[in-house]
Structure formats: structure tokens, C-alpha cells
């Protein structure tokens, strides 16, 4: 199993450009998440999905969009890049464990994005 894979690893965007961050998991997990992590900070939830066709906003969704057409893939779209979106982006997946709330999350390696 590859687990959670993300592409690209690094990207530099100019202000106003658009891009899609790719995320794929091969663990057949229902739940998928997108986080951003700024230097010295914890992870902030951008969007999440509880299954194909179902997505919902997290704590910091402005400037981003997502879709979930398959169980495996959960791409994150930046429409008009802004310097405030410079960050490291992590995708994660999970399934419910043995009891309610037992959602151990598996993270990808991250995408480091710079907007200049």
C-alpha cells in the first residue's frame, strides 16, 4: 500500500494563478481531509469529505474548492492564488475505528506552496 500520496511536492505560483493539488489514497477510507500548516502552527482544516460526492467546509475554506468523485481521490483547487495561501498543504484519510470517534488519520507527505 502506498497510503496517501500527494502531488506536486513543491510549487511556486504567481498571484492570481490557479492550480489543483492532487491527493489519492489506496486504503479504501471513506473520510478524507485537507489541512494547511503555517510555520510554527498546528494544522487547520480546509475541507473534508465523508464519502464520494459529499464534502463540507472546515475552519479555513475561503479561496479553496474541493470535489470527491471517487473514494480514492480528493483534489484541492486554488482558483486565484494569493500570498496568504503560501503554506504547506497536507491531505489525510481515515476510517472509523472500533468505536465512534476513533478516527486515526493517515497523512500524505505534503505539498509546499509559495505564492509570490
Partner 1 sequence: SQKIEQNSEALNIQEGKTATLTCNYTNYSPAYLQWYRQDPGRGPVFLLLIRENEKEKRKERLKVTFDTTLKQSLFHITASQPADSATYLCASSRTTGKLIFGQGTTLQVKP
Supply the minimum distance, in Å, between the C-beta of residue 26 and partner 1.
16
Angle at 36 between CA 8 and CA 27, to 5 degrees: 65
Count of C-beta atoms within a 10 Å radius of residue 8: 11
Residue 13 vs 91, nearer CB to partner 1: 91
Residue 19 vs 45, nearer CB to partner 1: 45
Supply the minimum distance, in Å, between the C-beta of residue 81 and partner 1.
22
Closest CA to 56 of 68, 73, 44: 68
Give the burial string for 40-52 (b: 16+ CB within 10 Å, else e).
Answer: eeebebbbbbeeb
Supply the minimum distance, in Å, between the C-beta of residue 80 and partner 1.
27
Residue 38 vs 79, nearer CB to partner 1: 38
Residue 12 vs 15, nearer CB to partner 1: 12
Supply the minimum distance, in Å, between the C-beta of residue 38 and partner 1.
10
Give the footprint of partner 1 on this chain (CB under 8 A): 4, 31, 33, 35, 40-45, 48, 50, 58, 90, 92, 94, 96-97, 99-110
CA pair distance 31, 37, nearest whole angstrom: 20
Q: Where is 34: in which H helix or E strand? A: strand 31-37
Amino acid at each position: 500500500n502506498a497510503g496517501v500520496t500527494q502531488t506536486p511536492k513543491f510549487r511556486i505560483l504567481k498571484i492570481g494563478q490557479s492550480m489543483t493539488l492532487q491527493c489519492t489514497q489506496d486504503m479504501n477510507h471513506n473520510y478524507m481531509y485537507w489541512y494547511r500548516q503555517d510555520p510554527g502552527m498546528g494544522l487547520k482544516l480546509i475541507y473534508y469529505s465523508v464519502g464520494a460526492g459529499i464534502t463540507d467546509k472546515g475552519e479555513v475554506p475561503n479561496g479553496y474548492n474541493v470535489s470527491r468523485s471517487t473514494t480514492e481521490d480528493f483534489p484541492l483547487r486554488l482558483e486565484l492564488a494569493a500570498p496568504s495561501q503560501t503554506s504547506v498543504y497536507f491531505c489525510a484519510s481515515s476510517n472509523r475505528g472500533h468505536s465512534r470517534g476513533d478516527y486515526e488519520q493517515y497523512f500524505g507527505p505534503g505539498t509546499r506552496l509559495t505564492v509570490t
